[in-house]
Amino acid sequence: MVSETGNKHEIVNLISSGESEKLTDLLYNLSFDVVEDEIIKIIVPLILKDDKSVRNAASNFLIQNRNLLIPELVIEHISSDNISIRNLAGEILLKKGPDSIPAISSYIVNLDNDDDIKFLVDILGLIGEKSTEDLILAILNKNQNENVIVACIEALGNIGSEKAVKQIIPFYDQLEVLKPVVVEAIGKIETSESLEFIVDKFNCEDDLLKFTMIESLGEIGNQDTFYFLLSKINELKGALIWPLLEAIYKLKTRYDLEVPFDEKIKKCVLDTIINSEPKYQITAAYLVSVFDDPEILFACLSIFGMDMELNELLYRKFMENKEIIISRIYNAIDNSNEYVASVLELLNNIIQDDPAVIQKLSALDKRRLTEALSNSLTNPDEVVRITAAELLFAVDTETALLFIDTMTADENFWNRIRILDIFSEIDHSQITESIEKLVNDPEEMVREKAKEILLRKQFLIN
């Protein structure tokens, strides 16, 4: 145990002296020690200091130290007119977690400021302890402030309070603004009553609310919900399709159910992969493992590289369908595609696995592929540029020779060295001329490499 008297005097002296650096060091050193209440009482007011380093050190100490008095002393500062102090006090209480609950429970019942009540209810919801449900329900049933009501409903959803469902549902019809709040909250509480309520309201609501309902059904739904959502495939349109597919996929995974592959599902998967946000694109692409449809596989090329786990699934699917994929991969080799490096790596793996696949390309598809690769030679990413150069030679050497000036002018000297490695394997007068130019490269390593390759080629000729 730390000496209370010694540290108390040291802290008081350092505060008086204004030696913030030493005070900061002391606070960090004390963070995990057993510290007496008197020292805690001295440290808490330091979060009011203008000196940012002292304030940060004090808040770090109050978060890390296990003294149970800390929440009781910090909580009064959530009523501060200074928003930064108010937020800092809230952060400390939140990070203290369940240790803050007794202090919040005692303090909140004596508050008459609705902003402060809402602030503390929000913290209780984020702490997520179910033991606070009775306190939050009491506030919900007593307080008439709309913001406090919203905070209580959200908090009860966050803590998963089953007993709150019956009391939350009536708020649905009180105010329009409360409808999505109620749906989202009970959508986190897995009870038959929650599920029945959302399904019952599903067909009567606007699209924004329906969006929230679909997401909730994906979280708390059962096998019947899975088939209910499947039945909505024909009815829903636009952005509603995205959460619908996600909810169907979640329930399929949870209950080991089969998603029927028909034109309706295919259309939804395609729309989601092409038009939605990454969150929904990834979910839709997971359904590809069930399908071998070329159109869906082509669409998935546009998001290959977005997610590492998804990449593994798609990679297997692409390699099973190499001839189909390589005929359209040029569409995804585009400088505007932020995942183009992953697509080039995929193409390289396909060629390495089956070199003959290139020969099976039609003349038109081969020309489109070489054009896409040549455009990538000026990509801002040096890895993309050198990979595109290597692949261009692998696909069509004659076409690659048309772009060797671009390759040898690459601003990255490691790329120029790698280009020389490629050149060393090719016997062509144009290649020799390019190597001779690189003998005068500004980088010594490139010059030496070029000289070495020229000598080797001359030796082989002689």
Q: pLDDT, tens digit, for every residue of 47-69?
A: 999 999 999 999 999 999 999 99
Q: Which of 177, 123, 130, 126 is nearest to 149 (CA)?
A: 177
In a domain, 70, yes or no: no
Average pLDDT estimate for 436-457: 93
pLDDT confidence band for 76 (50 / 70 / 90) = very high
In a domain, 37, yes or no: no
In a domain, 449, yes or no: yes
Block residue for tokens 């569409």: 331
Q: Which residues touch 74 (CB under 8 Å, ≥6 apart)? A: 44, 47, 62, 89, 92, 93, 103
In a domain, 152, yes or no: no
Q: According to the model, what pLDDT value does residue 1 have?
A: 40
Average pLDDT estimate for 185-214: 92
Average pLDDT estimate for 247-273: 90
Average pLDDT estimate for 379-386: 96
Instruction: Evaluate if residue 2 carries a pLDDT over 70.
Output: no
Q: According to the model, what pLDDT value does residue 6 have?
A: 56
In a domain, 354, yes or no: no
Domain count, the chain: 1
| Single pTM value for the model | 0.77
**287: its two tokens:** 């359904």
Q: Compute the mean pLDDT over every residue in the chain, rounded to the nearest whole number.
A: 91
| Residue ranges making up the domain that contains 438 | 412-461
pLDDT confidence band for 22 (50 / 70 / 90) = confident
Average pLDDT estimate for 456-462: 71
In a domain, 419, yes or no: yes
Half-sphere exposure of 333 (CA within 13 A, CB side): 30
Instruction: Evaluate if residue 308 carries a pLDDT over 90.
Output: no
Instruction: Evaluate if residue 158 carries a pLDDT over 90.
Output: yes
Q: According to the model, what pLDDT value does residue 4 have?
A: 52
Instruction: Evaluate if residue 411 carries a pLDDT over 90.
Output: yes
Percent of the chain with pLDDT over 70: 96
In a domain, 441, yes or no: yes
Q: According to the model, what pLDDT value does residue 96 have?
A: 97
In a domain, 422, yes or no: yes
